[in-house]
Amino acid sequence: MENSFKGKKVLLTAGPTYEPIDPVRFIGNHSTGKMGYALAECFAQRGAIVQLVSGPTGLKTDNAAITVTSITTADEMYAAVKGLAPDADILVYAAAIADYKPKVVADQKIKKAGNELTIELVKNVDIAAALGKEKKAEQFAVGFALETQNESENAREKLLRKNLDMIVLNSLNDTGAGFKHDTNKITIIEENATTAFELKQKTEVAKDIVDLIWKRLYA
């Protein structure tokens, strides 16, 4: 098989996280999980054994090489990924994890009262950064950055701070890129290289990412 990942174990995150406010409301984002699922399928088609930790999405896979662990919150995703990470050869953090969560989750639905509602938020764990501290020398880690300003600078800072081998940059300034699209336009940033791609279907973008990972590891 060309560019084979046969026998390699890939740990991949996808989709959003939902951080509950009360039993009926949550903090989330517009991630559909399409990019992460496309990557999982691409790796599996090339022989990899894929562990996919997925936030709430409407997506499914029937690929026998992909095992899906469904989670809702960032804490649940962290627990799942932390347990699976030591055995992975390649780690791809494609999920759009909520940066903050409510400090207190109400047991009952918060009733509408007054013109203002204040909710105190606390920061969620940065999963890629936390696991970057435990990454083994032989593991290859890939992150994602969705930026709206100072895109390259912010992505490169994340690459170094999170101990990643490459980071996939999306800009919301690019038409057709980011959430809620079947297309994406990416730039892959590494310590000593930057590779830009044109706007493509997310299935094609996944192939570009997987191709470059294979090239860095095995070419």
Q: Band the pLDDT of 152: cuts 50, 70, 90.
A: confident
Going by their DSSP bridges, the two strands 166-171 and 186-190 should be labelled as antiparallel
**Of 171 and 140, which is predicted with more confidence?**
140
Find the domain containing 152 and state its range. 9-101+118-218
Say yes or no to pLDDT of 22 above 70: yes
Q: State the pLDDT at residue 20.
A: 97
**Contact criterion met (CB below 8 Å) for 39 and 92:** yes
211 in a domain, yes or no? yes
What's the mean pLDDT in 94-110?
96
pLDDT at 181: 72
Residue 24 included in any domain = yes
Rounded Cα–Cα distance for residues 107 and 23 (Å): 7
User: Does residue 121 contact residue 48 with C-beta atoms inside 8 Å?
Assistant: no
CATH of residue 134: 3.40.50.10300
* Residue 187 to residue 171: CA distance in whole angstroms: 9
Do the domain assignments include residue 108?
no
The 10 Å Cβ neighbour count of residue 137 is 4
Residue 80 has pLDDT above 90, yes or no: yes
**What's the pLDDT band for 151 if we cut at 50, 70, 90?**
confident
Long-range contacts of 149-153, Cβ-Cβ distance < 8 Å, separation of 24 or more: 151/187, 152/187, 152/189, 152/194
Q: Per-residue pLDDT tens for 189-203?
A: 999 999 999 999 999
Indicate whether 112 belongs to any domain.
Answer: no
Work out whether strand 90-93 and strand 140-147 pair parallel, antiparallel, or are unpaired.
Answer: parallel
- Residue 44 belongs to a domain: yes
**What whole-number distance in Å separates Cα of residue 189 and Cα of residue 196?**
9
What letter represents residue 192's amino acid? N
Question: How many domains, in total, are found in the chain?
Answer: 1
Name the token pair of 46. 């090339």
Q: Which two tokens stand for residue 88?
A: 């992975």
- Which one from 29, 63, 154, 163 is the annotated catalytic residue? 29
Give the pLDDT score at 182. 79
Q: How far is CA 7 from CA 48, 57, 213, 215, in A?
A: 6, 28, 15, 17
Whether 29 is catalytic: yes
In a domain, 40, yes or no: yes
